[in-house]
Each structure stands twice: as C-alpha cells, then as structure tokens.
Structure 1
Amino acid sequence: MTDREVARDVGLLLKYALDHTLTPGRHDTYNRLLDRYTTDPELRTAFEETAAGLGLRTLSADRATGLVLTAEIDSPLAVADTAPWLRITGAGDRMVYGVALGGVAAWCYPTARAVREPGTRRVTAVDVDRLIREHAAAVEAGEAELPAGLGPAWEEYSVHRKQIAVTKNTGQLKRGCTVKMCEEVLVMLSAFGLVVPDRTIPRPRPDLQVWRSTDRFRAHVAAGGGPLAWQTIVNTGSSALGEEET
C-alpha cells in the first residue's frame, strides 16, 4: 500500500476507535481495518505512532469492543471537563467522586480473575455506596488500613456526607448525598461506553438506574493497575486528593 493509503486507513481506524458506539461486528469497514491492525505490522505501527502523537494508548483490541484507547492527561483528546456529569463545588466533592469512581471499579472487578476474563456485572449506585461504606466501617474497626494521606477522602465520604437525602416535594435524591453522587459517576461512565443501562430488572429507586459494566470498562480497570479492588479505590482517591483546591 502507498503511504497515502496507510495514512487514510490509520485515520479511519482512529475515527472508529474513538467512537464507543461502534463495534467491528456491526461495521464492515471497522471490521476490515481491525483485521489489518492485527495482521499487518505496517498499519499497526503507523496507527500506534499516530495515536502516541495524540497522547493516546491502546488498551485492547478484540472483536467484541474493537480498539479501546485511553488518553494521557496532557492529550488534547483527554476529558478536561466533567461538569456535564459531576457537580464539583470544592475539594470535598472531588474526594467523594474519586472514592465513588474507585468503588464502581471495585464492585465490577473485585478480583484478578474478574479483570482477566471477559464478562459484565450488574451495578447500581446503592451497590457501590454499600461497598464503600462497608470498607469504611472495616477501616474504623481496625480490620483494614488506608495508606497515609487518604483518610480525609474516606472521612468526607463516610462521615460528613449523608448516604440518602431526599427532597420534601418530590422525594428524589438530593445532590450531595453519596448514593446520588455514585449515580452521577455511573452516568458519566455511561457517556463513554464504560457502563450501559440494564433494563432487565426493576430500578432500586425511580431516580436511579440499573447499569451493567462493559469489556471496555474492564480494559480500563486492568490498565489502571489491575483489580485489587481496594487498591483501585485507593489510587482513585489519591488522584482526587491531588486535585484539592487551594
């Protein structure tokens, strides 16, 4: 193939990989290019070099999900604004959302085997909140430990934030309670195809969804340090702490 044809195919493959709604099984051109990515070293090298120049890294490539990419923090394609999903008004919100994000990963992929094997898991904000609070109780009882520096995030979540708070008029969850904040994290993950709605069972509450994890999310969790359930939360909490406002 000519250099121009390789460049064209790299651009197309990158376009498809960045669209989480597309899968090779439902798109002939994507399927053909993924075949070439796995068998043609020239195309694969050109793709990886182009992606690296944009601050992107390939996490996995398979028939089910296609190419799963992650963006480095300084990439122009990194998510720089979470405001459409997370309502952050200060460092406390950042810490709670960070713990909630780690909690989702820990619930969906609690073991090394869960991260290695394809599969999905049903998850709700209630599940995630309960898991986090159970761990917080274990820490309080001296049955588990947190690395130095993470205490404020766990205290903010488990002590200073209510688990459930509802409005008087509608009975809907108020923002700022931890179950609501876990739901907002799940909604954000769904925007990137990391979880999807599961409508096969009733919702736990009218204002909460039932979700199911995806192999795309599994690839991100695996690349982020593996399953080690609470290490995932710890790492996420550490990142959140690093973003405290001054």
Structure 2
Amino acid sequence: MTFRDDARDVGFLLRYALDSSASPIRHDTYRMLIDRYHTDPDLRSAFDAFAEGLGVRVLTADRSSGLVLTAEADSPLAVSDTGRWLRIRGVADRQVYGVALGAVAAWCYPNARAVREPGTRRVTAIDVDRLIREHGTAVEAGETELDERLGEAWREYVHNRKQVATTPTGVLKRDCTVRMCEDVLVMLAESGLLVEDRTVPPPRPDLKVWRSTDRFRAHVAASGGPLVWQTLVRHRPPADAAGTEDM
C-alpha cells in the first residue's frame, strides 16, 4: 500500500464511521477496512492522527458496531445544534433534556456488567420518565443522595413539568416530560445509538419503542460508566431496572 492508498482508505474509513447506518456486517469494504485498522499499524496511525486533528477519537472498532467515534466539544464534527429534535427555550428546558438523556443511559445500562455485555435493551419514553420520577421520590424520601449541583434540574423535572399533557387532538404537548424524553430518544436514534423496535406495539400512537445499539453501549462505556446516571445521582439504579433483553 502506498501513502496515497492509505490516505484514500483513511477517508473511506472516516466516511463509514460518520454514517450511522453503515455496518461492517453489510459492507464488505467497511469490514475490510476495520480489519486493516486492527492489523495495519500504518493505516491505524494515519487514521488516528487525522482523527486527532479533527478533534475526534475512536471509542471502539469491531465488525459488529464498526468504528465508533466521539467528538470533542470544539470539533467541527460535534453536534452543536440540537434544534431539529429538542425544543430548548431556556435553561430549564436544557436541564430537563439533560436529566432525560442521563436516564436513557441508566435505563439501558444500569450497571457495569450491562456495559460490558453485548445485547440490545428496549426502552420507551415512558420507561425513562418513570425511572426519573421514581428517583425523584427516593430523593425526597431521603433514600437517595442527590448531588446538590443538580438539585435545580431535578426540581424542574419532577415538580415544574407535567408528566403527560395532550393537545385537543390527543397528541402529547412538547413541554410535558414524556414527550421531552421521546425527543431525546429520537435524537439518539438519528445518531445510530438507538433503533426503532417494530416487534412490539408502542405505548401510545405518538411514541415509539426503541432498542439500544452497540454504538450507544460504546459511548456509555467511554463516559466512565455506571453510568451517566452516576453524574446525576449518587445512587445506582436496581439491576433489573433496564428491562434487559439480549439478542
């Protein structure tokens, strides 16, 4: 392989990595490049150096999940505009979405074992909302210690927002917490971290059932695990909270 060949293949590998719908299982070229990333030190060094320049790093690289990347906050590849999915009108909305995002990770990967083991986890907005509100009840009962820096976010979610509110046509309003949890799930799905599960009926017509992916597991593992939820409360959710179903 020449330097020019390696440069081309680095570009192809990055192109596949940025396409959440691409899979080494379905793309022979992608699978070959993943194998080369592991066996060819020149290609790996070239890719890692190029990625570093872009402000991204590799979380995992295998034939199942492919090449999973994460971007630094100042990277041109970082998601800087969530307006497509999240309706953020101020700090309070950002707090609610942040709690919901942490709870999605906690529901899918409630402990270190869940992060290490492959397999998908089913999740709905109702699951996520219930987990948050159950922890809110535990906090108020003194059963769980809450990081004081996050108290305002928890109060906004649990006390200032309705769990379910609907329009005259029966559709969830954008500012109720179940709908806000669904918005977070849709955003994660757009990034390939969740996929829609059509094998079971949704809890209501304006919600979907989702399943986590190995890409999501890699991101949660890289956060320092068990897990994102640990940054929100000093309490580990019960091991059976995730409704785990390995495939």
Do both proteins adopt the same fold according to a TM-score greater than 0.5, normalized to the shorter chain? yes
TM-superposed deviation, 1:148: 2.1
Asked whether 1:161 is paired with 2:161, we answer yes
Asked whether 1:81 is paired with 2:81, we answer yes
Instruction: Describe the SS at the equivalent of 1:24.
Output: coil
In structure 2, the residue matched to 1:225 is: 224
Instruction: Describe the SS at the equivalent of 1:69.
Output: strand
In structure 2, the residue matched to 1:100 is: 100
- Structure 1's 234 and 11: CA in aligned 2 closer, same or farther, altered over 3 A? farther
In structure 1, the residue matched to 2:197 is: 198
Taking only aligned residues, the RMSD between alpha carbons, in angstroms, comes to 1.2
Equivalent pairs, count: 234
Instruction: Describe the SS at the equivalent of 2:181.
Output: helix
Work out whether residues 60 and 67 of structure 2, in 8 Å CA contact, stay in contact via their aligned partners in 1.
yes
Paired with 1:232 and 1:196, the residues of 2 have a C-alpha distance of 25
TM-superposed deviation, 1:149: 1.2
One-letter code aligned to 2:226: P
Q: Which structure 2 residues correspond to residues 60-79 of structure 1 after superposition, within 5 A?
A: 60-79=60-79
Paired with 2:148 and 2:231, the residues of 1 have a C-alpha distance of 15
- Following TM superposition, where does structure 1 have runs of at least 4 consecutive aligned residues deviating by more than 6 angstroms? none
Scaled by the length of structure 2, the TM-score of the pair is: 0.93
Work out whether residues 54 and 77 of structure 1, in 8 Å CA contact, stay in contact via their aligned partners in 2.
yes
Work out whether residues 107 and 128 of structure 1, in 8 Å CA contact, stay in contact via their aligned partners in 2.
yes
Paired with 1:109 and 1:189, the residues of 2 have a C-alpha distance of 15
One-letter code aligned to 1:18: L
Paired with 1:218 and 1:227, the residues of 2 have a C-alpha distance of 11
TM-superposed deviation, 1:4: 1.1
One-letter code aligned to 2:195: V
One-letter code aligned to 2:164: I
One-letter code aligned to 1:70: T
One-letter code aligned to 2:217: R
TM-superposed deviation, 1:182: 0.1
Asked whether 1:147 is paired with 2:157, we answer no
Q: Which runs of 5+ in 2 are unaligned?
A: 235-247
Asked whether 1:24 is paired with 2:24, we answer yes
Work out whether residues 85 and 185 of structure 1, in 8 Å CA contact, stay in contact via their aligned partners in 2.
yes
TM-superposed deviation, 1:25: 1.2
TM-superposed deviation, 1:78: 0.3
Instruction: Describe the SS at the equivalent of 1:26.
Output: coil
Paired with 2:175 and 2:163, the residues of 1 have a C-alpha distance of 9
Paired with 1:47 and 1:94, the residues of 2 have a C-alpha distance of 35
Encode CA deviations 1:137-187: one digit per residue, 9 max, x unaligned: 00000000111211000000000000010112x111111100000000000
Paired with 2:142 and 2:35, the residues of 1 have a C-alpha distance of 52
Instruction: Describe the SS at the equivalent of 1:11.
Output: helix
TM-superposed deviation, 1:228: 3.3
Percent sequence identity over aligned pairs: 72
